[in-house]
Amino acid sequence: MGRILESTAMPGSSRRCLALVPCAGTGERAQAGGPKQYAQIAGRSVVAHTLAALAAVPALEAVLVVLAPEDEAFARHAPAFTGPRAWTAPCGGATRAATVARGLAELRRRGARDDDWVLVHDAARCLLRPSWVEALMAECLDDAVGGLLALPLADTLKQASPAGPSGASDAATRVAMTLPRADKWLAQTPQMFRLGLLERALAAAGPAVSDEASAIEALGLAPRLVRGDIENFKLTWPADFALAERLLETRR
């Protein structure tokens, strides 16, 4: 189960960091024949690649993987995830927000405190590099709010029309307008916030919130944007798996 944390930091000054990986999703959009985090690419499962990157960050006190209660496949797909820094908890919820909230409660049960930092990372962002995590930590450890990896939007951004034009004979998706991209960023993970603040934010935001930063923003706070990398994309669609495999093979 992993050891209980022993704190030596003064209240409000903790620089202790923990990673939380929600791993309870079904990944239906990926069409991977099961949970996408267990799909095999470049010799091992998606989640195994993800966890190997996090394990290579020495400053992380522990990595907690939050599984679905009925999950019996994780140990088979991530056999190298062992040791005192490798924690699992079969307490995932029906949504990402619920899974993260339950993971935070589990971290607290294991001794984590309000002022400890939690880095929430998608299991399906398997091209993560330890250096990106370390860069986020360096930027956020002394920040009053916390922050996330993100990328400035490079492409022209289109908003789709909810329906075809009046009288149209086809059901094609069409452009409603072009949106300015100058101040737009693509959110990535990890997203790094203090445990107590993130608990309060998720409780207030409800289950539909799509990421941790959104919940923090709903409290009127402004998370720090830390520039990430284009390779840190989340495997979502079938074509993403082939691209991720090619990129992982080139790293070898």
* CATH number of the domain within which 128 lies: 3.90.550.10
CA distance 194 to 211: 15
Tokens of 14: 């903790």
User: Cα angle vertex 136, ends 113, 90, to 5°?
Assistant: 50
pLDDT at 3: 52
> Quick one: CA dihedral 221, 227, 230, 231, positive or negative?
negative
Instruction: Place 168 in a pLDDT band, splitting at 50, 70 and 90.
Output: low
CA distance 130 to 52: 9
Residue 171 is assigned to a structural domain of this protein: no
Tell me what percent of the residues of the chain surpass a pLDDT of 70: 88
Residue 78 is assigned to a structural domain of this protein: yes
pLDDT at 151: 97
Beta-sheet pairing, 157-160 with 175-179: antiparallel
pLDDT at 106: 98
Tokens of 238: 């079938």
Note the pLDDT tens digit of each residue in 63-98: 999 999 999 999 999 999 999 999 999 999 999 999
Range of the domain at 238: 17-144+188-251
Domain count across the chain: 1
Note the pLDDT tens digit of each residue in 7-30: 434 344 588 999 999 999 765 544
How many CA atoms lie less than 13 Å away from 139 in the CB half-sphere?
A: 22
Tokens of 246: 């090619």
Average pLDDT, stretch 118-122?
98
Residue 10 is assigned to a structural domain of this protein: no
Lowest mean pLDDT among 27-31, 102-106, 174-178: 27-31
Average pLDDT, stretch 159-188?
82
Q: Where are the beta strands (DSSP E) in the chain?
A: 17-23, 40-41, 44-45, 60-67, 86-89, 117-120, 146-152, 157-160, 175-179, 185-194, 224-227
Q: Which of 3, 222, 198 is nearest to 119 (CA)?
A: 198
Residue 108 is assigned to a structural domain of this protein: yes
Residue 43 is assigned to a structural domain of this protein: yes
**Mean pLDDT over all residues of the chain?**
91
pLDDT of 164 over the 60 cut:
no
pLDDT at 5: 55
CB atoms within 10 A of CB 166: 5
pLDDT of 100 over the 50 cut:
yes
Note the pLDDT tens digit of each residue in 147-159: 999 999 999 999 9
CA distance 31 to 16: 38
User: Cα angle vertex 58, ends 55, 61, to 5°?
Assistant: 80
Give the residue carrying structure tokens 């996408």: 36
Residue 193 is assigned to a structural domain of this protein: yes
pLDDT at 30: 44
pLDDT of 169 over the 60 cut:
no
pLDDT at 166: 54
pLDDT of 134 over the 90 cut:
yes
Q: Which amino acid is at 57?
A: V
pLDDT of 32 over the 70 cut:
no
Residue 157 is assigned to a structural domain of this protein: no
Residue 1 is assigned to a structural domain of this protein: no
Please enumerate in sequence order all residues whose Cβ is within 8 A of that of 240, keeping only pairs 6 or more positions apart, or say none: 30, 233, 234
The whole-model pTM stands at 0.90
Task: Please give the residue that has the higher pLDDT: either 185 or 166.
Answer: 185
Beta-sheet pairing, 86-89 with 60-67: parallel
Q: Is 38 helix (H, G, I), strand (E, B) or coil?
A: helix
CB atoms within 10 A of CB 76: 9
